[in-house]
Amino acid sequence: MRFIKPDFTHSILNISATLAEFLGAPNDNATLDVLKRELDKNYKNVVYMCFDGMGVNPLRVNLPATDFLRKHTVAVLTSTFPSTTTNATTSLCLNKLPLEHGWFGWSLYFDDVKRNIDIYLGKDSQTGDVVDYKYPIADDGDCYFYHGNGKYRINTVFPSYVNCRDEGNVIITEWSDIFAEVKRLCAQDGNNFIYAYCPQPDGTMHQYGVTSDVTRNLLQQISHNLHQLQDETHDTLFIVSADHGQIDVAGVVEFYKDAELNDMLLSPPFLDSRTPAFRVKKGCKTRFAQLFRQRYGKDFVLYRTADLLKRGYFGDRGAYGYLLGDFIAIGTGTNKIFMGSLRPDKMEYKGHHASLTLEMQVPLILFNS
């Protein structure tokens, strides 16, 4: 199986690195020349818009090559690994590698509380109970654009659940409100930098699949609205991208039924359902790896976490690798979902992401008004 490894010189992280440098904020990451050249034109407004899940694969299978978004795609970048919203959007907001911020996946195990926790929701991954616990990872609200030189006014456009500063933040209750709010903010006097996040089309693709008519219609609507936004604004650079892509789901692996392998674990599987992580009891690691590969190797390739860390899959610096357990299984092109002991309602997906297949490819889309 040929996986798409994150390239942290040509990834979504490097959009943030380029914007951080442009805004005069600290930056330790590589920048993107194609974006730097456009930023050098000194636009009145610079707008970054992240559409959750709107990767290369959903665009290619749903929109013609002549579509507005595809015509203005100037590069194909990689997501972070795992290619999941928790991990990728944190890298985008903080301009930090996954290993530097620790928001690796939907569910993480914390030894202080002896639980897997859905870290966006603050809930026990198995029971759904609310857990009052301060995560020992980076502050995901300390965004890079708050640390610039002040040349550009900073505004954000986020759903209510996104952690950010209240000052300059606009809350959207409907995803489609993002376009009107960005237009309004661009009309402000002076120089404006606007960071906007839209939870679609990810939610629709999870529910209906990447290749559904519902998804196609939604992507057409997003493309039309962005084209219209170009026409209705002035002297504005639009940078449009995604946190990750998606693929259509083709079945499940019912690991929770495997009593022998589950008995070797110190805690239920965690991380994400296309990249489950495992904490294995002492003395069981060799046997666990052997049996897992025999039983599930077609759909998930098992790696020692230490090997993935050494190869730079989470970046080349940072202190949070200890949260990733002993092994990580990576979903293959069979597009299966891994059902550990997570609640079954979390697995009713027709589209998903988080692995190293096509969901890793993300467009960099540039256009100006």
Q: Which CATH number does the domain housing residue 163 bear?
A: 3.40.720.10
Residue 343 has a pLDDT of 52
Q: What 3-state class would DSSP assign to 322?
A: helix
The verdict on 341 and 292 lying in the same domain is yes
- Averaged pLDDT, 98-113: 97
- Are residues 260 and 244 both part of a single domain? no
* pLDDT at residue 137 in the model: 97
Q: What is the pLDDT of residues 28-70, one digit of tens each?
A: 999 999 999 999 999 999 999 999 999 999 999 999 999 999 9
Specify the pLDDT at position 19.
Answer: 98
Share of the chain above pLDDT 90, in %: 92
**Type of residue found at 308:** L
Question: Which of these, 71, 55, 15, lies nearest to 39 by C-alpha position?
Answer: 15
> Got the DSSP string for 156-224?
EEEETTS---STTEEEESSTTHHHHHHHHHHTSSS-EEEEEEE-TTHHHHHHH-TTSHHHHHHHHHHHH
d(CA 131, CA 124): 6
Let me know if residue 166 belongs to a domain: yes
Per-residue pLDDT at 305 exceeds 90? yes
What share of the chain in percent tops pLDDT 70?
Answer: 98
The total of other beta-carbon atoms located within 10 Å of residue 204's CB is 23
Domain count for the chain, please give it: 2
Q: What is the pLDDT of residue 345?
A: 52
pLDDT for 52 = 98
Tell me, what CATH number does 264's domain have?
A: 3.30.1360.180
CB-based contacts of 304: which residues, under 8 Å, 6+ apart? 289, 326, 327
Considering the domain architecture, whether residues 143 and 243 belong to the same structural domain is answered as yes
The number of CA neighbours under 13 Å toward the Cβ of 350 is: 12
Question: What tokens were used for 97?
Answer: 């590698």
Looking up tokens 């489950």 gives 276
- Specify whether 54 is located in the same domain as 152: yes
In a domain, 119, yes or no: no
Mean pLDDT of 359-366: 98
> Per-residue pLDDT for 293 more than 70?
yes
pLDDT tens string 19-29: 999 999 999 99
pLDDT score for 166: 76
Return the percent helix, strand and coil in the chain, to nearest 5.
Answer: 35, 25, 45
Average pLDDT over residues 309-334: 98
The mean pLDDT of the chain is: 95
Q: Domain span at residue 65? A: 12-100+138-248+356-368
How confident is the model at residue 251, as a pLDDT?
A: 92
At residue 346, does pLDDT exceed 60? no
Tens digit of each residue's pLDDT (9 = 90 or more) over 255-280: 999 999 999 999 999 999 999 999 99
- Res. 157: pLDDT tops 60: yes
The reply to whether 118 falls in a domain is no
Q: Write out pLDDT tens, residues 78-104.
A: 999 999 999 999 999 999 999 999 999
Same domain, 256 and 316: yes
| Residues 286, 221 within the same domain | no
Distance CA 110, CA 116 (A): 6
In a domain, 240, yes or no: yes
The first and second tokens of residue 22, run together, are 């442009």
Residue 298 is assigned to a structural domain of this protein: yes
Q: Are residues 210 and 315 in the same domain?
A: no
For the question of whether the overall pTM of this predicted structure is more than 0.85, the answer is: yes
For residues 362 and 344, membership in a common domain is answered with no
Helix, strand or coil, per DSSP, at residue 130: strand
* Paired strand residues for 51: 198
Residues 205, 81 share a domain: yes
- 200 shares a domain with 90: yes
Q: Are residues 38 and 89 in the same domain?
A: yes
Distance from C-alpha of 150 to C-alpha of 129, rounded to nearest angstrom: 42
Domain-embedded: residue 115? no
Residues 287, 209, single domain; the answer is no
